[in-house]
Amino acid sequence: MCGIIAAASNRNVGKLLVKGLHRMEYRGYDSAGIALHQDDQIAHLRTLGKVKLLEDKMIEEKPKSKLGIAHTRWATHGEPSEENAHPHKSNERIYIVHNGIIENYLNLKEFLKKEGYAFSSQTDSELIAHMLEFFLNQGNSILDAMYLTKEKLDGAYAIAAIDKEDDKNIIIARSKSPLLIGIGTDELLAASDPLAISGLTNEFIFLEDGDVAQISADDFKIYDDSKKQVEREITHIDISHEASSKGDYRHFMEKEIYEQPAAILNTIDGRVGGDDVLDNIFGLGSSEMFSKVKRIQIVACGTSLHAGRVAANWFSAISELPTQVDYASEYRYKNPHVDQDSLLVTISQSGETADTLAALRYAQEKDYLSSLTVCNVPTSSLARESEYSIFTNAGPEIGVASTKAFTTQLAGLMLLALSLAKSRDVNPKLRTRVITAMRSLADTVEETLKLKDEILEIAPEIASKDNALFLGRGIFYPIAKEGALKLKEISYIHAEAYPAGELKHGPLALIDEDMPVIALAPESEIAEKLVSNLEEVKARGGTIYVFSDPSISMELKSGRIIKMPKCDFLLTPIIYTIPLQILSYEVALLRGTDIDQPRNLAKSVTVE
């Protein structure tokens, strides 16, 4: 989704800003642009498509500048085009970049049109440039103009603006959309994502909602919502080059799939001891709080929601707690009834997903016992606003399609199920069994990755089809859903998932030789039932690909059975996810799609 980078420096900033845009490409975008202060003028370049095209334009025009703002846009209001790309400007004076959505933009646009402002884009963002200029023309300073503009805006925003009349300062503002300051050696920077400026600094200041800041090459001042100058904490984050580069892999997604054994170890490391989970790993006082929990409400989006659906089974089986799982985008619109002693659990890779954050903020007004997040980014809004948290420590995930974030979320959620059970003093033997299995989980994942050669043999058969059906039962239904999501996200093959027992209630009508069926058959009491469901597919000439426990016997006329490594049943959802990720990746590779940045999708969805 949209990305902002801005720099005020003692050296030229053109290259540095473009490099920052490249680093944010993983978020998903459709156009890019830059505005650079140059000899009392502003060089303004925008392109539709990849940042590389903007870079080519920069090489051609060679603008030199020590102050600038740049942006990658993911279209919300108005189609992807050069005119709609940021920065937007007002009367060749004010240039702005914006992330988020201005909800009252139609009214504000009307107001500005009456004041004589002409709009050259279909975006909601352009009005911010005009509004700032409108207030500047009334004799306000840029700082005051930003506060007056803020008063008018409803919605979410991170803004960076420059004024042609001022070649020293950048003004930035944040409300419900991430924005931070980076303290570099030769410059001060602003960005929506620490990764964008990670090569230039490891010292970041995360702005709070309502903050406005003024940045020059050597100094910065932060003001809170009431315009009082404030100090904000400096956070030190080391983002290693290795973590944010592809290395020898063809795509970030491929790298992230094969990083999973190490990532899972990082999630578990230091959180289990002896044959149980350690106390208070979700924050001081969490173990005591857990003993009071009577019910769990999970909210999340996309892949993270699938992790929540698996975890609901664990909370029931291990912690003996009822759990409700909702799409974050739906949760607050259903007027949820909140039982006292309910724990709200949010799950998010980025910690910035607008719907999940909005659900947390909505829930904080309700009668929940507490809130807890399972998140990969410790500095994210979700991490800062939740009472308790566990960080999955998976390292930066760059590929839009989530892989290691998902399996580490599952590992973190299993730790939560065990911690709840420990605090509630239930299932001690089961806890020991699971902890023992968790200790060898990374090795089992490593072994599962070796299935790649077998998967390579079936990938061409799936890649030649336009549809696919995924089947799973019980705890494997969410894994089937995750498999279908991965395949459609990166290969653009239409894929659906069903609990296998539902097959005969509709989807069976779709079965023919062009509808591959991918089934998950781990060893369990429902495996036999699943085998019967697959017989129904076989009888109708469907091709079946089964990932199964070695103990399951089945004969197929067409398709293939791939035997999975042995693992404790409760952890099998993590293991069975791996071949589905590899399959999607290899199919997408054959279909030649843009795997790390699939069309229309964004990594971090910061608009509702």
List of residues contacting ligand G6P (CB under 6 A) = 301-304, 348-350, 353, 356, 400-402, 601, 603-605
> Which amino acid is present at 4?
I
Sign of the alpha-carbon torsion through 569, 574, 575, 576: positive
CB of 63 to ligand G6P, least distance (A): 33
Q: What is the CA radius of gyration of the chain?
A: 25
Token pair for residue 10? 């003692």
The residue from 66, 486, 488, 603 that is catalytic is: 603
Question: Which CB, 27 or 46, lies closer to ligand G6P?
Answer: 27
Question: Which CB, 143 or 601, lies closer to ligand G6P?
Answer: 601
Contacts of 535-542 with CB under 8 Å at 24 or more apart are 536/503, 536/504, 536/508, 537/503, 537/508, 537/511, 540/508, 540/511, 540/512, 541/511, 541/512, 541/513, 542/511, 542/512, 542/513, 542/515, 542/516, 542/517
Question: Which CB, 222 or 253, lies closer to ligand G6P?
Answer: 253
Q: Which residue is nearest to ligand G6P (CB)?
A: 302
Question: Which CB, 111 or 327, lies closer to ligand G6P?
Answer: 327
Question: Which CB, 400 or 503, lies closer to ligand G6P?
Answer: 400
CB of 589 to ligand G6P, least distance (A): 19
Q: Is 603 a catalytic residue?
A: yes
Could you give the CA distance from residue 484 to residue 462 in angstroms, rounded to a whole number? 12
Please give, one letter per residue, the 3-state secondary structure of 308-350: HHHHHHHHHHCCCCCEEEEEHHHHCCCCCCCCCCEEEEEEECC
179: DSSP letter: -
Question: Which CB, 65 or 349, lies closer to ligand G6P?
Answer: 349
Could you give the CA distance from residue 454 to residue 555 in angstroms, rounded to a whole number? 18
CB of 307 to ligand G6P, least distance (A): 9
CB of 352 to ligand G6P, least distance (A): 7
Q: Are 280 and 289 in contact (CB under 8 A)?
A: no
Question: Residue 471 in 3-state DSSP?
Answer: strand
Token pair for residue 310? 């698996």
Mode of pairing for the β-strands spanning 187-191 and 3-9: antiparallel
Question: Which CB, 89 or 603, lies closer to ligand G6P?
Answer: 603
Could you give the CA distance from residue 485 to residue 303 in angstroms, rounded to a whole number? 8
Token pair for residue 296? 């769990």
Could you give the CA distance from residue 130 to residue 144 in angstroms, rounded to a whole number? 15
CB of 266 to ligand G6P, least distance (A): 17
Could you give the CA distance from residue 197 to residue 63 in angstroms, rounded to a whole number? 20
Q: Which residues share a beta bridge with 173?
A: 159, 212
CB of 606 to ligand G6P, least distance (A): 10
Q: Is 2 a catalytic residue?
A: yes
Residue 380 burial by Cβ neighbours in a 10 Å radius (0-12, 13-18, 19+): buried
CB of 77 to ligand G6P, least distance (A): 19
Mode of pairing for the β-strands spanning 166-175 and 41-48: unpaired
The residue from 2, 301, 375, 567 that is catalytic is: 2
CB of 87 to ligand G6P, least distance (A): 25
To the nearest 10°, report the CA torsion of 100, 103, 107, 112.
Answer: -10
Question: Which CB, 405 or 521, lies closer to ligand G6P?
Answer: 405
Positions marked catalytic? 2, 603
